[in-house]
Every structure is written in C-alpha cells, then in structure tokens.
Amino acid sequence: MSGIADVARRAGVSKSTASRALTGSGYVSDATRQRVRDAANTLGYVPSTHAVSLATGKTQTIGVIVPHVTRWYFGEVVDGIQNALIARDLDCALFSAEPGSANRQRMFDTYLGRRRFDGLITVGLEPSTRELDRITTIGKPLVTIGSYDAGTSAVSIDDFEAALRATQHLIALGHSNIVFLGGAPEDSDHSFGDARRVGGYRTAMTEAGLAEFVQHIPCDVDMPDGYAVAVDFLSGSHARPTAIVAVCDEVAIGAIIAARRQGIGVPNDLSVIGIDDHTHAEMFSLTTLRQSPREQGETAVELLSRLIAKPRSTPERVWAPATMVIRSSTAPPPEPARL
Amino acid sequence: MSGIADVARRAGVSKSTASRALTGSGYVSDATRQRVRDAANTLGYVPSTHAVSLATGKTQTIGVIVPHVTRWYFGEVVDGIQNALIARDLDCALFSAEPGSANRQRMFDTYLGRRRFDGLITVGLEPSTRELDRITTIGKPLVTIGSYDAGTSAVSIDDFEAALRATQHLIALGHSNIVFLGGAPEDSDHSFGDARRVGGYRTAMTEAGLAEFVQHIPCDVDMPDGYAVAVDFLSGSHARPTAIVAVCDEVAIGAIIAARRQGIGVPNDLSVIGIDDHTHAEMFSLTTLRQSPREQGETAVELLSRLIAKPRSTPERVWAPATMVIRSSTAPPPEPARL
C-alpha cells in the first residue's frame, strides 16, 4: 500500500506539505492541495484517522442519537443524515437509546463522556433532566430533530400547527364528533411531540365550539397498536365518531384497516387523517400532512456544520414544512339518518 | 472535569498504571484494574479516544454497511447490532450504500480506505466484483449478514430452504396453481437472496410435479409494490392462482390488501404465505416463516468479536433459524366448482 512518502514524491512536495494538504491542518495553497489530493487518489492513499484527528483536533465523526431505527420516521431521518454526512466526508456514529433501556443509560454515562464526535444530532430524543444536564455539559455542538426544544439549534415541523390544520380540515368538511387517536397519555413524561399534536387538536375543536366532543384515545405510535385500539373503540357501544385525527400515518393506517375489517367504509362512514405522508400512505389513499424526515436530517447536518465551524454562534430554529396532501380517506360525515 | 491524575490519586496508583488499566494496553492485575475503574466511574472520568486508539491500535468502532435503514429487516438488524455493541462498549459507525448511488461509490472509495474501524459487518450487501476486491484488500475482520457469501464469517437464514418449506406448506394444503411474488427478476445483479428464495420455490414445485405452474412475478421488496403488482395480476383475465408465496412479509401483506380490496377472500379464495414474521404480520393473520434479524445482528457481533480477537481464525457460517408460524392466511384451495 502507498504511504504519505509516495504521495509526496508523486505530487513533488515534501512529506510535511503533503500531510498538511491532506489533513487540512495548516497553510497550503489551493493548487498544491489539489495536486496532493490527485496524487493520493491516483495511489489509493487515504490518511489514517488517528493522524488526522491528532493534527486537527477533529474526529470527523458526528454522533447521532435515536430512540430506535425501526420506525419509518427515524429510519428516514437517519438516511437523510447519512447522505449529508457522506457528502461531507464525515462519519456517522449511531446510538440508539430506547426510553428506559439499560443501553440508554450506558450511552449517556459512557459514550457521551468519550466525546468521540465533533458534534451531536439527537432525533426525537426527549431527555430527562439528568440526561439533558449530561448533554449540555459535554460542551459539543448540538442539533435536535423533533419536538423537544432545549434552546439548541433544532429542526422539526410545528406539531401543534400540523394537528390543528388536520382537525380544521375535518371540521370544514362538517364533522363534529372527531377523536384524536394515538400517542402517549397526557400525563406521560416522554411525549413532547404527541402532547403538542393533542394540543393542536384540542385548540381547533375548542375554537370551533366543539369542546364537548374532545376525546384523546392514547395508543403506541405504530400500526399494530393503532389497529388494536381502533378495533376496540369502533366496535364499542358508544356513539361512534365520524372522523379520526391520527397522531401519525402509521396509526391512521391501523385505524383504516380496523374500520374495513368491521365493514365501516372509509371515507363514507368514517374519515381518517394522518400526519407524515408515510411510504404506505398512498396505498391507503390517506389524506395527511406531509413532512420529509429525510430533509430534516439533511438540514440538521447543515446546522451542525455551521455550529462546528463557529461554536459560539446563535442557535438556529428551523421549522420544517408540513403540507396538506388530500387523497380520499376524508369526506363529509354521513347523513344523520344513517348514523 | 477530572483527569487521569485524579483517577490515579484516588486509586492509589501511578498515572501510567491508571492509564494502562483504563486502555487495556499492558499488564495490570485484575484487582488494580478494578480499583482504577471504580475510581474513574466515581469521578466520571472517561479516557479520550485518541489516547486509547494510539495505545491499543484499536478504534473501538465497528463499521456497519447497509443498503438503507428504512426497511424492517435492516432496521431490526441494526438495532440488534447496536445493542450488542453498546454492551461491549464499542461504537457503531453506520454507512448506507444504496445500490447504484453516488454515496455507495464514495463509501467504498473513501470510507473503507480510512480503516476507521476494527472490523466490518455488511448487512444484505450484494457487492460487485470491484466492491468485493475493495473489501477484502482492506484486511479487516469481516462478517456478512444476508444471503451473499464470500467465504467470510456469515449469518443468515437459509433462503432456499425457507421458500422451499413455505411452498411445501401450500402444496400440502392441496394447492397447485401457486405463484412466487416479489424480488428482482432472475437476470438481476443484486439479488442473491431473492434468487435463492425463487430457487427454493421452483424446487418444491418441480419435486411435486407442478413445474407447469411455476411462475415468478417480480416486484420491489416492499408493501406498496407488492400491493400494486398484486392488484394487477389478481384482476388479470388468466386463471387466477389459488396461492401466493411472497418473497417476504411486506410483499405478502401488500398482496393481502390488494386481494381484500377486490373482494377476494384470504384464505378462502386465496392463500398467502410470507417470510420474516414482520411486526405487522400478526395484524394481517399472516402465515409466515419467522426469522429474527435482531438476533442475527447480535450473532454477527459475536462472530466479529472472535475474529478481532483472533484475526487468523477460520470463518464461521451461522444458519439462523426460520420457524413456521401458522396463522390464518393459508387454507385448502377453494372447491373446483367455485373456480
């Protein structure tokens, strides 16, 4: 394998100049830098990381903390982060921190202390006070994705606003008996995003004079639990709602499947609206508020790059767009005679 | 923040002993190591990575290459790897390498050359010859997860066997007109796993004297494409099959949704079997061959740890289990009169 001496010889410079050109750790003219890089590429030489780290004080790695990668939103965000990092020649160190798990504690206690990253992106992390202390004392640039806002640089949709608009869409169609399905119960600790969405729903209902119909039915934020809980309340003896605002598309799709199985027509008997525009939304003709977690991941990398370049700069708050996509899971409520 | 001097003082040893105890880079008695570790824990001291790397020659990082993390299988594998790594105090550097993407090329050209990892796990990576050359010349321990077998240590289910058993289950119920749905066309480059599953189906059909019914309908390995393609062929004018072996559960679920929408009863008019036991399988009462990608990820970390400890040891091939889970998406074919 070629070494730095071979690269220097080929580029016609000294070893120390070649090293500076490749590690970015001192003055080298653009022309020389390019010549050295070309030589390195031709020879297949890549500088060792330890050498680069010691020379620049940078790890060239970004730490990414997620609760898990097995849900659509998190997987998409991680893919977006990945793409943006690889284009900048940065590595992605991934850490999953499922709420309440032993690994989460270990991650906060050990991994963060190691500081083996130039900056951190947390995705949908809703930290306890103790965890937040730990993150901020680490003293590394930080960007959060998701609803939690610790005054750091942050990217997310406006969860309150998204649920408000979803609810108003149903009210405009003529619905009154609208339930909000999914998310943690309101007294839960780990539910900033859910709680804001419930808040948006509640506000839209109250403002429209529909406070008496407000009903939040909690469930896990995934398709099977949305399905199970919907089977339950759609077959209950109480007055069935004519519309559902789901905390996200996965829960909305679970509810649509539950309704179909019970012979309840969507949208003729029941309207359903989600938030996300999940990969499966089109297949279920789901009306939803579209967000792009992939772009949120890319935006977070941009914010973090700026923070790493200028650590003392003011945090930036980016509100990602949420766009109404009207398909055919929502319609006016059935005529009273049919209720 | 506490430094190594504070740890040494508290443990009653010299700085160099404390350093050896924490980096694992020289002889220290177990009792002393424990005392130093206790002191470090009490003081919240974590050794800097650069120091550890230079002392031990190890990065304490495992590279994980996946095509993407947004599909169930890959997300679960990555979660399993994560859990196993964090328990061993190792970091996970994640690289996605979607077939044909510019990032994939960049990853192979730049990232791998940097050798910023002690070992590599590739997940469902089906490398080109050039990529394989690159991986093997890198000279780091390697474990593959998935069907591709380059003679390295490897973990996967037996894809051929799984599809064979799924097909035999349908044949035993009395079906003859059984199609195989999903996966790349058989002349594709990136489809080792798909091709083995098609092979298992084909063999089961031929051995049962049903060669004339063999039909592989390719589609992308996800729910929406399984749905779209099934809508198409279920409504076609040709003799409709009485059973489907799907390349995986996501495609199977897409087919079930397509059938229901067209008033085709599952399992009364059409049996469907998958492979995976996806999170959504139960919701659709899907009969399937269960595998655990999470456990495969954990097993891969074990294999890799052994290779890192003894780089010249013989590669190990682990066949992960695939267990038939019978729910209610399969049944005997409809009576001929009803066809």
The minimal CB distance from B96 to the residues A45, A49, A82 is found for A82
**Across the interface, which of A75, A111, A113 has its CB nearest the CB of B70?**
A75
CA–CA gap between residue A194 and residue A221 (Å, rounded): 9
Strands of the sheet containing B119-123, edge to edge, are: A317-319, A153-156, A142-145, A119-123, A61-66, A91-96, B91-96, B61-66, B119-123, B142-145, B153-156, B317-319
Point out the residue among B46, B78, B107 whose CB comes nearest to the CB of A69.
B78
Angle between helices B192-207 and B159-173 (to 10 degrees): 40
What residues are paired with A243 via a beta bridge? A178, A271
d(CA B103, CA B107): 6
Domains with residue ranges and CATH for chain B: 4-54 (1.10.260.40), 61-157+294-319 (3.40.50.2300), 159-291+324-337 (3.40.50.2300)
Q: Which residue has the higher pLDDT, A34 or B308?
A: B308
Could A93 and B96 be called an inter-chain contact, meaning their C-beta atoms sit closer than 8 Å?
A: no
Supply φ then ψ for residue A62, to 5 degrees. -110, 130
Nearest-neighbour CA in chain B from A117: distance (Å): 10
- DSSP SS3 for A215: coil
B96 interaction partners in chain A (CB closer than 8 Å): 79, 82-83
Q: Give the mean pLDDT of B283-311.
A: 95
In which band, very low, low, confident or very high, does the pLDDT at A168 lie, cut at 50, 70 and 90? very high
CB contact under 8 A, A283 and B95: no
Chain A's closest residue to B93, CA to CA, is: A93
From the list B80, B204, B136, the residue with the least C-alpha distance to A70 is: B80
pTM of the model: 0.80
Q: Which residues contact B105 (CB under 8 A, 6 or more apart)?
A: none
Q: Which of A24, A294, A293, A313 is nearest to A142 (CA)?
A: A313
Across the interface, whether the CB atoms of A279 and B227 are under 8 A apart is answered: no
- How many angstroms away from the CA of A209 is the closest CA of chain B? 37
Amino acid letter, B284: F
Interchain proximity A94–B92, CB inside 8 Å: yes
- Give which of A284, A232, A86 is closest to B223, Cα–Cα: A284
Return d(Cα B91, Cα B289) in angstroms, integer.
32
Contacts (Cβ under 8 Å, ≥6 apart) of A263: none
Nearest to A134 by CA among A165, A109, A106, A104: A109
pLDDT at position A7: 83
User: Which residues of B fall within a CB distance of 8 Å from A54?
Assistant: 50
Mutation target vs B (from A45, A66, A83, A86; most B CBs, 10 A cutoff):
A86
Interchain CB distance below 8 Å, A222 and B279: yes
In the predicted model, what is the mean pLDDT of chain A?
Answer: 87
Confidence grade of residue B273 (pLDDT, cut at 50, 70, 90): very high
| Burial degree of B54 (CB within 10 A; 0-12, 13-18, 19+) | middle
Interface test with A, best of B69, B112, B231 (most A CBs within 10 A): B69
Residues of A in contact with B73 (CB under 8 A): none
Cβ within 8 Å, pair B114-A61: no
Q: Which residues in chain A are closer than 8 Å to B51, comparing Cβ atoms?
A: none
Q: Give the tens place of pLDDT for each residue, A67-105.
A: 888 889 999 999 999 989 988 888 899 888 787 777 788
Q: How far is A131 from chain B (nearest CA, A)?
A: 14
- Contact check, Cβ <8 Å, B93/A89: no
CA A240, chain centre distance (Å): 33
Q: Do B48 and A282 touch (CB under 8 A)?
A: no
Q: Do B227 and A93 touch (CB under 8 A)?
A: no
Is pLDDT at A110 greater than 60 in this prediction? yes
Q: Given the structure tokens 């993390």, which residue do they identify?
A: B69
Nearest to A72 among B70, B103, B107 (CB): B70
pLDDT at B316 over 70: yes
- What is the reported pLDDT for A116? 83
Q: Is the pLDDT of residue A52 over 70?
A: no
For residue B321, give both structure tokens: 């289990």
| Minimal C-alpha gap between A202 and chain B (Å) | 30
The C-alpha of A334 sits at a distance from chain B's nearest C-alpha, in angstroms, of: 22
Q: Give the pLDDT of residue B143.
A: 94
- Spatial neighbors of B194 by CB under 8 A, at least 6 apart, are B182, B183, B184, B188, B221, B247
**What average pLDDT does this structure show over A223-243?**
89
**Which residues in chain A have their CB less than 8 angstroms from residue B281's CB?**
none
A166 in Cβ contact with A275 (< 8 Å)? yes
Nearest Cα residue to A159 out of A193, A184, A125 = A193
Instruction: With CB atoms and an 8 Å threshold, state whether B94 touches A96.
Output: no
Q: What Cα–Cα distance (Å) separates residue A150 from each residue in A303, B24, B85?
A: 15, 37, 29
**Nearest beta carbon to residue A224 from set B44, B72, B283:** B283
B94, B221, B278, best to mutate vs chain A, most A CBs in 10 Å: B94
Q: Is the pLDDT of residue B269 over 90?
A: yes
Higher pLDDT, A316 or B34: A316
Q: What would the two tokens of residue B190 be?
A: 């990136």
Give the model's pLDDT for residue B170: 98
3-state secondary structure chain B: CCCHHHHHHHHCCCHHHHHHHHHCCCCCCHHHHHHHHHHHHHHCCCCCHHHHHHHHCCCCEEEEEECCCCCHHHHHHHHHHHHHHHHCCCEEEEEECCCCCHHHHHHHHHHHHHCCCCEEEEECCCCCHHHHHHHHHCCCCEEEECCCCCCCEEEECCHHHHHHHHHHHHHHHCCCCEEEECECCCCCCCCHHHHHHHHHHHHHHHHCCCHHHCCEECECCCHHHHHHHHHHHHCCCCCCCCEEEECCHHHHHHHHHHHHHCCCCCCCCCEEEEEECCCCCHHHCCEEEECCHHHHHHHHHHHHHHHHHCCCCCCCEEECCCEEECCCCCCCCCCHHHC
Q: What is the pLDDT of residues A288-299, one digit of tens each?
A: 999 999 999 999
- Nearest chain A CA: its distance from B100 CA (Å): 14
CB pairs under 8 A between A and B: 133
Nearest CA-CA partner of B301 in B147, B153, B84:
B84
- Among A52-66, A233-247, B262-276, the minimum mean pLDDT is found in A52-66
- A46 and B106 within 8 Å at the Cβ level: the answer is no
Residue B280: its chain A contacts at CB < 8 A?
223-224
Chain B: residue nearest A104 by CA? B86
pLDDT at B54 exceeding the cut of 70:
no
Q: What pLDDT digit, counting tens, does each position of B104-134 carry?
A: 887 787 777 777 899 999 998 877 777 877 8
Per-residue pLDDT, A46: 66
Q: Which two tokens stand for residue A45?
A: 């030489």
Q: Which residue has the tokens 């169930």?
A: B72
Interface test mutation site (partner B, options A92, A115, A116, max chain B beta carbons within 10 A): A116
What pLDDT sits at residue A304?
A: 95
pLDDT at A109: 76
Please report which confidence band the pLDDT of residue A15 belongs to, taking 50, 70 and 90 as the band edges. confident
Tell me the ipTM for this assembly. Answer: 0.76
Tell me what the mean pLDDT of segment A178-196 comes to. Answer: 85
- Separation between Cα atoms, residue B300 and residue B69, nearest integer Å: 17
Cα diameter, chain A: 89
Rounded Cα distance between A52 and A58, Å, is 8
> Do the Cβ atoms of B70 and A68 come within 8 Å?
no
> Across the interface, which of A75, A86, A260 has its CB nearest the CB of B75?
A75
* φ and ψ of B235, to 5 deg: -95, 0
Of A90, A280, A294, which to mutate for an interface test with B (greatest number of B Cβ within 10 Å)? Answer: A280
Whose structure tokens read 């994980």?
B64
- Provide CB contacts within 8 A for B235, sequence distance 6+: B262
> Is 90 exceeded by the pLDDT of residue B88?
no
pLDDT of residue B339: 46
